[in-house]
Amino acid sequence: MRPSSIFSHRLRRLRTSMRLRGLDALLITGPENRRYVSGFTAEDAGIDESSGAVLVLGNEAVLMTDGRYKLQAVEEAQGCRVHIYRKGLHEALKQLLSSGIKVLGYEPGYITCQRLESIRAALPEKQLVPFPGRIEKMRAIKTEEEILAIKEAIRVAEKVLEQVVREIRSGMTEKAIAWRILEGLYRQAEGPSFPPIVASGPNSALPHAVPTEREIQKGDPIVIDMGAKLRGYCSDMTRTVFLGTPKGHIKEIFRVVRTAQESAQKAVAPGKSGREVDMVARNIITRAGYGEYFVHGLGHGVGLQVHEAPVLSPGSRRHLRPGMVATVEPGIYLPGTGGVRLENMVLVRESGNMVLNNLGWLQKG
């Protein structure tokens, strides 16, 4: 499918959902959702500095942005008319929304209270209705082109990690390892899909540890969680690397986590709920006596964002569908001692699944 056809198809599906909800128009302010329906790749500089929005009407879509992004918008926007505003988004909406448009939907998770109030004040005759989650549900099912981009992002991340692991030496700091990861990702991809986690020794018991000046020591577990971004799509992977022979309980919990991950990967299939897959790993870890130390959900979807639908967790009742891509990342974290996490990305297929990662388990001599 040609790029313009992809965006036209997405807009048609979105308009069907809008009609079912009684919306005359929809304002899209989420950066990844904006890109998904228009092809416009500009990123927001912060919560209060947007690079634009897409207004979906019954017969057209309008990419609204300011003068800084004019050339980029004209070049990238697929199937959208470009409108350059000078007095803000609320003034642009006043110009673009005709009197016949009564109900305007918006994305509540991607708009500040201040911006929403300014729109309400500018459009007192319009009814503003929250319209959450619809584009995210569409994004959960990946096309072949999206899956290819994700695979390429995985290959880059794996290549960078292999290179970095070869360089790890006793006395090297967590920050130094993180710096090498970032350097590799910026050289070989668009950059990281999220700030890398490098956590060694006792720090590896912190699931979302921030790299520190701690020096790597022999026998340390080193949890490295990283991902690349390529053509806008993310990858996410974790390996627990050992510098020499693991200490204490770490070797045992590595075996448990690896068994839990392999079993959960095999359980991924169409029709399975996120909860069912999570419980496969969680039961193995619990039976081994470490249930209280598996403190997060098993996994999450990955695409234009590094965390998106679907969710694999004890509370997730939604069923997996072909085309979804999710992480499988069980972990055990022993306070004061250390932890182990292993993470692959898995594609849900019509008949089962495919593990998208090729990189195996890494250990330094």
> pLDDT digit string (tens) for 72-105?
999 999 889 999 999 999 999 999 999 899 999 9
Q: pLDDT value at position 160?
A: 98
Confidence band of 45 (pLDDT split at 50, 70, 90): confident
**Does the CA dihedral 136-140-141-146 come out positive or negative?**
positive
pLDDT at 3 over 80: no
Provide the pLDDT for residue 48. Answer: 80
pLDDT, position 248: 78
- Look at residue 154 and tell me whether its pLDDT is greater than 80: yes
Q: Which residue has the higher pLDDT, 106 or 352?
A: 106
Q: Given a cut of 60, is residue 134 above it in pLDDT?
A: yes
The pLDDT assigned to 2 comes to 57
How many angstroms separate the CA atoms of 182 and 217, rounded?
A: 22
pLDDT confidence of residue 363 = 56
pLDDT of residue 4: 66
Residue 365 has pLDDT above 60, yes or no: no
pLDDT for residue 234 = 98
Q: Which of 85-89, 270-274, 359-363 has the lowest mean pLDDT?
A: 359-363
Position 246 scores a pLDDT of 85
SS (H, E, C) the chain: CCHHHHHHHHHHHHHHHHHHCCCCEEEECCHHHHHHHHCCCCCCCECCECCCEEEECCCCEEEEECHHHHHHHHHHCCCEEEEECCCCHHHHHHHHCCCCCCEEEECHHHCCHHHHHHHHHHCCCCEEEECCCHHHHHHHCCCHHHHHHHHHHHHHHHHHHHHHHHHCCCCCEHHHHHHHHHHHHHHHCCEECCCCEEEEHHHHHCCCCCCCCCECCCCCEEEEEECEEECCEECCEEEEEEECCCCCCHHHHHHHHHHHHHHHHHHCCCCCEHHHHHHHHHHHHHHCCCHHHCCCCCEEECCCCCCEEEEECCCCCCECCCCCEEEECCEEEECCCEEEECEEEEEEECCEEEECCCCCCCEEC
Q: What is the pLDDT of residues 216-238, one digit of tens each?
A: 999 899 999 999 999 999 999 99
Integer Cα distance of 180 and 51 in angstroms: 30
The full set of domains in the chain, from first to last, is 3-139 (3.40.350.10), 141-364 (3.90.230.10)
Q: Is the pLDDT of residue 259 over 60?
A: yes
Q: Specify whether the CB–CB gap between 364 and 167 falls below 8 A.
A: no
pLDDT at 33 over 70: yes
Stated pTM of the model: 0.94
Average pLDDT, the chain: 95
- Determine what percent of the chain is predicted with pLDDT higher than 90: 91
Residue 247 has pLDDT above 90, yes or no: no
